Structure 1
Amino acid sequence: MIEFVSQSKKSNLILFVHGFCGGEATWRNGGGRSFPELFSDDPEISEKYDIAHFLYFTKLLNLFAKAGKVSTFVKRMFRTSHGKLASNISIEEIGSLLRTEIRFRLQTYDNVIVVAHSMGGLVTKSAITKDIEEKIPPKIKLFISLAVPHQGAESATFGKLISDNLQIEGLSPLNDFIHRINDEWLKTSLRPTTKYFYGVHDSVVKKTSSVPIDKEKSDAISVDEDHTSITKPESQSSTTFIAIKQIILDFENNDPGISALEIKQLEDETEFDDELFVLKLISADIHNTTVREAKEAFLNAEYIRKFFSNTSDQKRLAELYKKIRKVYQNSYTKYIHDGIPNSGLLLADVHETIIKEDKVFLNTFILFINAIHKQGMLHQLANSEDENIWWVKDGSADSLRSLITEVKSE
């Protein structure tokens, strides 16, 4: 399934994924040079990237199948040397095969950049959304979409009349598969950076389908090509080649990817000193070391929150905050009834419970939020004047006003 064009143990890979009835020839121009080979000849790309194809079986085998005219002879033509009968499988299943290849054959790569054409883009989207659904950090960090029918291809509707090919069915506008992966794609803010190319002469996949509704204006790139020529730049001076190369180099220099979600360190010890959650800790005589840890957790919670801006993630975050508030309330109840002897141990008890319940009561479908972020979310709650979260038994609105007045007077 993976065929390398160049392989020299780089940490990054550019992976080409062809479309319906395609293969290695999808990328080969009239002069016999392929798009991947042009990349391997480019010193700026080849210095940092290995290059490969993802190949899968896709043929128009089932033509006239609905009329009962599929030939046994045609089937035998595509029987493998091992006697295994190759057949068309669904786009979703091909996406699962891509995930398998990435997991087991491409596991040494830190980052994978996918250049996908037509149906290959739907294969790629299916693989990415399945990773996110199963809480697996996607290895695909940049997705370059070339004439991909994100809303389906009208020509596939006519193809269904003469064929029961599963791939044609998956390409039809508004079919269940298209609708489902688009819905999943829009639900998460953790999908990879995506650039949408469309050919102005493409009569197979129209602009309205190749540039989906979730795009930003800067993501849509028009080129003077049709559905076939968009994959076959004649040389390194071709606009499509130059544009995709520049996108890869720009992404490499300004990667906002998942790696940016690493745990952040507090650089300034005085940071957040005037924040309400810190004043509450100080008023409870919490040790300086513990206050610093709370600041750092708060920093990470504030940082990661900006990645989750869509409606679905916001609802999940709201539910998670409710659960964290409940964890605090349970510990605070023990504290006011002398089950916990002091404020420092109250805070420790809440933090320890968050760690203990991270994958149980506090489990969330939002990727990459861990126990440290959840501890920080506790202090985000404490930082709100509307939240009654204290580390002393006599915490009240009067105490809050007193703290705020004290800060303003300094």
Structure 2
Amino acid sequence: MPKNYIDMDFVLENKKNRHLIILVHGLNGSESTWKGEDQRFVENLTKENYVKDNFDLALYVYGTKIIEISWFARIIRLLRGLINNKAKEDAKRFNVGIEKVSMPLVGQLNGYHEKYETISFISHSMGGLVTKSALTWLDSEILEKVYFFMSLSVPHIGAHLATLGAKIPVIGKNPQIMELKSMGKFTTLLNQRYGSIKIQPKIVYQWGIQDDVVPQPSAYPAHIPNNLTIATQDDHFSVVLIKNKRINVVYKRIMEELNIVTLPFLEIEADIPEGISFKVFIESILRSKRFNGIRIDFEGFTNKELNIELRESKIKSKSLVDFLIEIGELSINKMPKYIVEREKRTYNFTIKSIKNE
């Protein structure tokens, strides 16, 4: 794919998959940030059966280069393109600002989101700012589907190197470099816009102790809980390499989070033993490692109702909500009517009796 191309490139796609992972590269990056050799994310994620069975995987690729072409050269090339009827091709060759880069991503999500229950991002460096910018432009219907965002060496408040680079004539006119300046206007306004959106994904922030590009205060925004941060021994570029996925803490955390993302939507198949109570059976299912992180509360039931016994049977459901509803239909004595409510974008469920409503 040409370096100046702007599009969503699907590297894993199955019509049955209901979840989407989008990888977003950074400044001067390309699809080769994520794929092309054994240590890259695409090569590793596409070998995971859990990923293949549940997720589509896409690369958001856009034009970016450090040394920007001069305005005079732009005009000459544009005139040549008009004469040769290739103006559109030439237009793709120039850097545009981070917010403009994010707008086609917004358009892609508007077009693709209906297929998916959840959307997750893995973004490196400036790609994290592209991601945040896109999130500020999404409707709430789509934002509710964005569960997880892995921030890899992202300069959330800019980078000093960009501040220095902006002073070099051959680099300084690059709009992406200008917007990456430390504590600059763009990152300040972007963080304000992002902070004002009501629906935000879970972000896990990574910083490499050998990273000379993005300092820790920029990779970790202020007041982030420790359980949402990961310090690694990487530099700015090695973080996107997975030398050994069994011990790579970033890769392991991503896989853990992807597992949590899909929990409410997974198909469930189980055997119900004769005489087990409604509540005990549900709690026994939740104790399995597969459902670690799910919380279920019971509301409006008496102890007698929660202890109503189930008949021996097999149950297979398309999602956790369906599963919890269908269990009640397998009781020996009639269960009171109930509904299952899920707190939006969390893994907290309430089984609520409606017998008095």
Common fold: TM-score over 0.5: yes
Identify the residue that residue 35 of structure 1 maps to in structure 2. 41
Larger radius of gyration: 1
Corresponding letter in the other structure for 1:8: N
How many equivalent pairs are there? 261
Identify the residue that residue 247 of structure 1 maps to in structure 2. 257
Assess, with a 3 A threshold, how the Cα gap between structure 1 residues 144 and 233 changes in structure 2: closer, same or farther: same
Identify the residue that residue 108 of structure 1 maps to in structure 2. 115
* Separation in structure 2 between the aligned mates of residue 107 and residue 2 of structure 1, nearest angstrom: 16
* Separation in structure 1 between the aligned mates of residue 256 and residue 213 of structure 2, nearest angstrom: 27
Following superposition, the deviation at residue 235 of structure 1 comes to 4.2
* Separation in structure 2 between the aligned mates of residue 76 and residue 119 of structure 1, nearest angstrom: 32
Corresponding letter in the other structure for 1:176: K
Deviations 1:203-262 (A, max 9, x none): 00111100111411111101121111101213433513223212322343489xxxxxxx
Question: Which structure 2 residue ranges, 5 or more long, are not aligned?
Answer: 1-6, 266-297, 303-340, 347-357
Following superposition, the deviation at residue 28 of structure 1 comes to 3.9
Q: Assess if the C-alpha contact under 8 Å between 1:28 and 1:232 holds in 2.
A: no
Identify the residue that residue 60 of structure 1 maps to in structure 2. 66
- 1:269-308 equivalences under 5 Å are none
- 1:149-228 equivalences under 5 Å are 149-161=155-167, 162=169, 163-228=172-237
Q: Assess if the C-alpha contact under 8 Å between 1:149 and 1:171 holds in 2.
A: yes
Following superposition, the deviation at residue 39 of structure 1 comes to 0.3
- 1:282-361 equivalences under 5 Å are none
SS of corresponding position for 1:62: coil
Q: Assess if the C-alpha contact under 8 Å between 1:146 and 1:196 holds in 2.
A: yes
Deviations 1:283-321 (A, max 9, x none): xxxxxxxxxxxxxxxxx9xx89xx9xxxxxxxxxxxxxx
Assess, with a 3 A threshold, how the Cα gap between structure 1 residues 140 and 174 changes in structure 2: closer, same or farther: same
| 1:127 equivalent in alignment to 2:124 | no
Following superposition, the deviation at residue 137 of structure 1 comes to 4.0
* Separation in structure 1 between the aligned mates of residue 79 and residue 225 of structure 2, nearest angstrom: 45
Alpha-carbon RMSD across the aligned residues, in angstroms, is 3.4
Alignment match of 2:32 (pick from 14, 17, 25): 25
Following superposition, the deviation at residue 72 of structure 1 comes to 5.1
Between structures 1 and 2, the one with greater strand share: 2
Deviations 1:310-368 (A, max 9, x none): xxxxxxxxxxxxxxxxxxxxxxxxxxxxxxxxxxxxxxxxxxxxxxxxxxxxxxxxxxx
Q: Assess if the C-alpha contact under 8 Å between 2:105 and 2:134 holds in 1.
A: yes
Between structures 1 and 2, the one with greater helix share: 1
Q: Assess if the C-alpha contact under 8 Å between 2:77 and 2:90 holds in 1.
A: no
Percent identity at matched positions? 27
* Separation in structure 1 between the aligned mates of residue 207 and residue 86 of structure 2, nearest angstrom: 35
Assess, with a 3 A threshold, how the Cα gap between structure 1 residues 198 and 109 changes in structure 2: closer, same or farther: same
Identify the residue that residue 310 of structure 2 maps to in structure 1. none
